[in-house]
């Protein structure tokens, strides 16, 4: 695992990349990563992904006590829920990405498997994405909803709000949430055009070949 100084810099670098490409705007979104001692580094509340300061990230010890840095995001319950239910989670990213939010508002959105199987990459990086109902921002019930999945999903979509994705490290989590947004964009671009999605047989081959967590 990288040392903490490099991890802080990496979190801020990737967050700025997401911000610069319009994947989350203003002071929206939050990001966290496990430290080598089992603690967490978390983006502070009210901060912009485009201007995170490595020295001011919220630092938690292994017992989730804030030991340094600014006050953390109000969505800590979401992050904690993933870390507590998925031992492989090394980072969590939450965005307010436009296309995925738009797709979540459509009346026929699939709550159990939010993303249509348009490419192999969303399946490989995300598995099935659970669409959760709307919650008030910061509501601890969001964390309870994630805990209710018992660690079986690596990603959820908060209706009318944004995606939340866990990964083995901060780069993997960022790559996966980008794939989620790209797939949502594809779904909207091809909506009403009867696109040729992957078949059940093709999905099974992808899941088997790439050892994908696929909650049936």
Question: Annotated catalytic, 83?
Answer: no
Coil, strand, or helix at residue 147?
A: helix
Nearest to 49 by CA among 103, 97, 3: 97
Nearest to 78 by CA among 181, 168, 156, 150: 156
CA distance 82 to 155: 9
> Which single residue is written with the structure tokens 């319950």?
77
The single residue of 50, 54, 121, 147 carrying the catalytic annotation is 121
CA distance 42 to 33: 7
Tokens of 74: 């109000």
> Which single residue is written with the structure tokens 């239910």?
85
How many degrees, rounded to 5, is the angle at CA 81 between CA 76 and CA 83? 95
> Which single residue is written with the structure tokens 């908060």?
158
Looking at residue 90, the DSSP 8-state letter turns out to be -
CA distance 38 to 45: 22
Q: Please give the positions annotated as active site.
A: 121
């Amino acid at each position: 695992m990288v040392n903490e100084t490099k991890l802080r810099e990496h979190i801020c670098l990737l967050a700025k990349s997401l911000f610069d490409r319009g994947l989350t705007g203003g002071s929206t979104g939050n990001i966290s990563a496990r430290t080598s001692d089992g603690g967490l580094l978390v983006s502070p509340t009210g901060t912009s992904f485009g201007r995170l300061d490595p020295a001011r990230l919220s630092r938690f010890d292994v017992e989730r006590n804030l030991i340094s840095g600014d006050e953390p995001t109000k969505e800590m319950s979401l992050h904690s829920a993933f870390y507590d239910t998925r031992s492989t989670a090394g980072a969590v990213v939450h965005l307010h990405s436009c296309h995925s939010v738009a797709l979540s508002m459509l009346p026929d959105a699939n709550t159990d498997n939010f993303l249509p199987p348009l490419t192999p990459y969303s399946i490989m990086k995300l598995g099935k994405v659970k669409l959760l109902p709307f919650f008030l921002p910061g509501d601890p019930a969001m964390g309870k909803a994630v805990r209710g999945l018992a660690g079986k999903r690596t990603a959820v979509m908060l209706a009318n709000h944004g995606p939340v994705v866990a990964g083995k490290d901060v780069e993997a989590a960022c790559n996966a949430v980008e794939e989620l947004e790209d797939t949502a964009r594809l779904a909207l671009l091809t909506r009403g055009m009867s696109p040729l999605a992957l078949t059940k047989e093709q999905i099974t081959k992808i899941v088997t070949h790439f050892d994908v967590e696929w909650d049936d």
